[in-house]
């Protein structure tokens, strides 16, 4: 099976369905259609599902909202609440000790999502230590770190996080990172939450050692947004639009366009990749408005984390004091 680059479980499922015309065995799927968003819940149940999907066992919750690229304040608040609700269902909120990890390179805008989220998280661990408290009815003990990338630190990100976990002993790690998608329409419009951990650098095909419960010794919730696609994916999507347009305008039964239309998604992607690779042109691509989009996404995700993990903090509080 040709490997099209994607970090989204729902896209891995779509690829299998397109090729086999059936649902993936060992995978449970649920879908909710809301006013401004669609939530797809994919749960990989067994090793058979792991093998087919190419992803670890666990829950993968994807929120799609096409309007996020030009989100106003009301929409950002709505998606923040929606995301917080999904996070809440995965955590034990009482007396929680959590470490929020912002993965990525703060000097590269499409990869700066994690560090930007960390800068807006309401950290409280120092307050618990200062007042020698083990618990509080209003807030939980939260710490946060943005460890940078191996190219600037010379250290494996996973090693840094493991050391912090061993020293601070959180109950939970929440890792935020930029991802890659197989479709341009999902770039910066989709948020994925998973319980299976995350591999730093996966969005640009530079996978490092995974941050997961097996390695860190505590549960890991990963939150990611696809901020990039590779050039082969972009070209493939563009050609598909051209084919659809020209097929409508051409005479029925035109052999050339019928042939193009019958190519499977994987075959078209591989064709584009083979054409671009000899020229070193299979680049990683992101929209030109990426600065504003990353800022908006960072606000949405940090707001959702703040209201999900602190019992007495709501959206009004974080919008007024933290952002």
Q: Answer yes or no: is 273 within a domain.
A: yes
Neighbours of 208 (CB within 10 A): 17
Q: Among candidates 32, 56, 30, 62, which has minimal Cα distance to 44?
A: 56
Mean pLDDT by 10 residues, the chain (323 residues): 70 84 89 93 92 90 92 93 95 88 91 95 95 92 93 88 96 94 87 89 59 94 89 67 60 59 64 61 71 93 95 85 64
What does the pLDDT read at residue 260? 60
Q: Answer yes or no: is 54 within a domain.
A: yes
Alpha-carbon span 176 to 200, nearest angstrom: 9
Q: Are 173 and 270 part of one and the same domain?
A: no
Q: Are 57 and 105 part of one and the same domain?
A: yes
Give how many domains the chain has, as a whole number.
2
What does the pLDDT read at residue 95? 85
What does the pLDDT read at residue 319? 77
Please give the residue range of the domain that contains residue 181: 9-232+284-321
Alpha-carbon span 197 to 4, nearest angstrom: 20
Distance between alpha carbon 262 and the CA centroid of its chain, in Å? 31
**Kind of pairing between the strands at 97-102 and 141-145:** parallel
Q: Answer yes or no: is 2 within a domain.
A: no
Report pLDDT digits (tens) over 147-172.
988 888 888 899 999 999 999 999 99
Q: Answer yes or no: is 3 within a domain.
A: no
Q: Among candidates 94, 31, 55, which has minimal Cα distance to 199?
A: 55
Q: Are 290 and 195 part of one and the same domain?
A: yes
Q: Answer yes or no: is 1 within a domain.
A: no
Alpha-carbon span 322 to 303, nearest angstrom: 9
Q: Are 147 and 249 part of one and the same domain?
A: no
List the alpha helices (DSSP H) in the chain.
Answer: 9-20, 47-53, 73-88, 113-120, 125-130, 150-153, 157-168, 213-216, 231-249, 255-262, 265-276, 290-309, 315-321
> Which phi and psi angles does 99 have, rounded to 5°?
-115, 120
Q: Among candidates 162, 147, 165, 181, which has minimal Cα distance to 285?
A: 181
Alpha-carbon span 227 to 182, nearest angstrom: 11
Burial of 183 per CB tally in 10 Å (0-12, 13-18, 19+): buried
Q: Among candidates 177, 285, 173, 182, which has minimal Cα distance to 225?
A: 177
First to last CA, the chain: 45
What does the pLDDT read at residue 290? 86
Neighbours of 7 (CB within 10 A): 24
Our separate counts of H helices and E strands in the chain read 13, 9
Q: Are 45 and 171 part of one and the same domain?
A: yes
Q: Are 222 and 194 part of one and the same domain?
A: yes
Q: Are 131 and 254 part of one and the same domain?
A: no
Q: Among candidates 138, 216, 136, 102, which has minimal Cα distance to 170?
A: 216
CATH number where 39 lies: 3.40.50.1450
Helix (H, G, I), strand (E, B) or coil at 39: strand
Q: Are 219 and 255 part of one and the same domain?
A: no
Q: Answer yes or no: is 315 within a domain.
A: yes
Q: Which 8-state DSSP code applies to residue 309?
A: H
Q: Are 153 and 268 part of one and the same domain?
A: no
Q: Are 201 and 220 part of one and the same domain?
A: yes
Helix (H, G, I), strand (E, B) or coil at 8: coil
Q: Are 274 and 171 part of one and the same domain?
A: no
Q: Are 92 and 104 part of one and the same domain?
A: yes
Q: Answer yes or no: is 294 within a domain.
A: yes
Structure tokens at 247: 């097929």
Sign of the alpha-carbon torsion through 194, 195, 196, 197: positive
What does the pLDDT read at residue 288? 78
Q: Answer yes or no: is 4 within a domain.
A: no
Structure tokens at 59: 């829950």
Q: Among candidates 245, 281, 239, 246, which has minimal Cα distance to 263?
A: 239
């Amino acid at each position: 099976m040709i490997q099209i680059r994607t970090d989204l479980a729902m896209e891995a499922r779509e690829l299998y369905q397109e090729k086999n015309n059936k649902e993936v065995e060992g995978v449970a799927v649920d879908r909710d259609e809301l006013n401004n968003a669609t939530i797809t819940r994919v749960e990989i149940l067994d090793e058979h599902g792991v093998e087919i999907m190419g992803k670890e066992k666990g829950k993968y919750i994807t929120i799609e909202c096409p309007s996020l690229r030009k989100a106003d304040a009301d929409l950002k608040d709505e998606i923040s609440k929606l995301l917080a609700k999904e996070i809440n269902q995965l955590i034990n909120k009482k007396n929680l000790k959590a470490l929020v990890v912002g993965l990525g390179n703060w000097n590269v805008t499409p990869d700066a999502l994690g560090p930007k989220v960390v800068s807006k998280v309401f950290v409280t661990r120092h307050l618990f230590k200062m007042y020698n408290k083990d618990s509080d009815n209003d807030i939980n003990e939260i710490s946060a770190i943005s460890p940078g990338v191996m190219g600037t630190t010379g250290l494996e990100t996973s090693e840094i996080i493991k050391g912090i976990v061993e020293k601070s002993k959180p109950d939970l790690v929440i890792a935020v990172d930029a991802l890659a998608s197989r479709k341009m329409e999902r770039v910066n419009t989709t948020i994925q939450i998973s319980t299976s951990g995350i591999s730093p650098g996966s969005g640009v095909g530079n996978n490092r050692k995974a941050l997961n419960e097996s390695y860190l010794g505590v549960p890991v919730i990963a939150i990611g947004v696809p901020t990039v696609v590779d050039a082969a994916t972009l070209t493939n999507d563009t050609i598909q639009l051209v084919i659809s347009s020209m097929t409508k305008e051409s005479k029925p039964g035109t052999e050339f366009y019928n042939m193009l239309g019958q190519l499977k998604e994987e075959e078209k992607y591989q064709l584009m990749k083979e054409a671009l690779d000899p020229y070193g042109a299979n680049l990683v691509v992101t929209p030109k408005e990426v600065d504003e989009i990353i800022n908006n996404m960072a606000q949405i995700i940090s707001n959702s984390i703040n209201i999900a993990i602190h019992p007495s903090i709501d959206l009004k509080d974080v919008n007024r004091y933290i952002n």
